[in-house]
Structure 1
């Protein structure tokens, strides 16, 4: 996770942990591939009608926008130019990148993503060629049927829609509006601030970058679901999958008894016996 969160290079991490560069590289790839394979089903599942309905209710409740399936946008994840790739990854910002196309709900969680398109492609082009765009065009993505707008039954039922910016085509299922669309910009901002590797040119093969970005979005959703987090941790502890508490880290190593003493004091101060009434400021 340090590679994602810190933005340090793999070489820097190898020096920090006194490990071989190839060992660190292989470990990073294995961890992010495991996150994608083990956590995708729970934290970034395939859309269902119930999911779309939940998102639409959330947009109405929080953003005063009815029948909204989510906000959609694309983000360029910058990479170092792959060998012999020509201009495929070269984008309009004059950098090399892959595209993360994402649909975000009212709580800044990613609900549908597509990762790995060439940076030279526009957001609208990526959407049109994506499984999401094709599925919406065919009408086979479990989208709820049209519904009347709250408080305006005279208008009649209207279809559920995504909201995007001017880079996307105007469709019966896609509107170009600003206010509700801002949640996807905020989600990208949170993703980048949390996983600072997104702020640098990632020096990995594009296939590995794809896996890294998918893992980052899954972990983003995981951190925005505190109740799910605790359940995940509890299950891991029950199955004995959690690492033991790390002791004696750092240059000045304390004796084990010192850690035990600190733990005992912590237990005392958190108990009724250790609770002290506040000291008055003035006598």
Structure 2
């Protein structure tokens, strides 16, 4: 029997082009396709064949990665604009439904929060930290007669995506949909994670002594100056408070 020496596989031209086109490698694409295929597969009719699951996923990923309009996307995908307007939201929902539990799981026990804290301590030398939170304004075309409801301080209309990430920049909690007029602190006050923390039902670990110190501090989430300073929210010292 001939034993071949294992070598690192070189990325072929096809894989490189695929990555540049879809923003993910072929294996990841087909793995995702297998997960969403049962949800996005449509039935053929006597009039015509339905658009394949692969074409639906491809169009959706191109839309998400490039941000181009349906009008522009219809030429590269050869799918009509009306069909894209139905396919892309439907496929986005399918992706979220199949990936949310394994890949977007918010810690619910002290042990799970401690695992997040270990990452911050190891990667960033920041003990007792269980997340980093911030908000992102997602620009929208405001609904008719909405007035200034979605108008934000940047002078545009938006909804707010609020996210908490772990030490590896992976989301562990997401709240999206609040109108853009609301500040990051206001979004945090009304989000479900903060409500569970305030009610003591988030499963957070008990206060713990800092390494090489006698001080006992709670586990906390780090934020910027737009957030309120609370027992479980740590933010930088405001410039207004500095001498």
Q: Does 1:168 align with 2:201?
A: no
Aligned-residue offset at 1:3: 0.2
1:24-53 Cα shifts (integer Å, max 9, x gaps): 111111110101111100100132223311
Structure number with higher relative contact order (C-alpha < 8 Å, ≥ 6 residues apart): 1
Q: Distance in 1 between matches of 2:201 and 2:193?
A: 10
Which residue of 104, 122, 129 corresponds with 1:68? 129
Aligned twin of 2:206:
145
Identify unmatched segments of 5+ residues in structure 1: 179-283
Aligned-residue offset at 1:16: 2.1
Aligned-residue offset at 1:133: 1.4
TM-score (norm. length: structure 2): 0.70
Aligned-residue offset at 1:19: 2.1
Q: Where does structure 1 differ by over 4 angstroms across 4 or more consecutive aligned residues?
A: none
Which residue of 106, 109, 114 corresponds with 2:175? 114
Aligned twin of 1:31:
91
1:165-209 Cα shifts (integer Å, max 9, x gaps): 11111111111138xxxxxxxxxxxxxxxxxxxxxxxxxxxxxxx
1:95-148 Cα shifts (integer Å, max 9, x gaps): 000001111111010111100000000001110011111111111111111111
Identify unmatched segments of 5+ residues in structure 2: 1-60, 238-243
Aligned length: 176
Say what the alpha-carbon RMSD is for the aligned residues.
1.3
More helix by share: 1
TM-score (norm. length: structure 1): 0.60
Aligned-residue offset at 1:82: 2.1
Aligned-residue offset at 1:17: 2.4
Which residue of 183, 194, 197 corresponds with 1:133? 194
Q: Distance in 1 between matches of 2:167 and 2:236?
A: 15
